Amino acid sequence: MSAIKKLFGIVWSLMGIGIIPLVIMQAMKEIAAKPSEENWIFWSIVIVVLMPIIAFSLITFGVFALKGEYDVLE
């Protein structure tokens, strides 16, 4: 179980890192295609609020998992 937890730690960290360019690229693509106020507000909320929370928490959680910090919580 400990090895699986650590292995998944890499997955969470990579997900956290990967989400940043993915969201930014999607936002740029959609705003360029339709630069409406609605689009700006939606992507601002996603980039300023949601993305940092997901990225920070997944990366940090992944690193902790990889280091075996959660191994004791059986």
Contact residues for other proteins, defined by CB under 8 A: 4-5, 8, 12, 15, 37, 41-42, 45-46, 49-50, 53, 57-58, 60-61, 64-65, 69-70, 73-74
Report the alpha-carbon distance of residue 74 to residue 20 in Å, rounded: 32
Give 35 or 37: the residue with its C-beta nearer to other proteins.
37
**DSSP readout, 21-35?**
HHHHHHHHHHHHH--
Shortest Cβ distance from residue 32 to other proteins (Å)? 14
Residue 2: C-alpha distances to residues 14, 19, 60, 72 (Å): 19, 26, 18, 9
Shortest Cβ distance from residue 21 to other proteins (Å)? 18
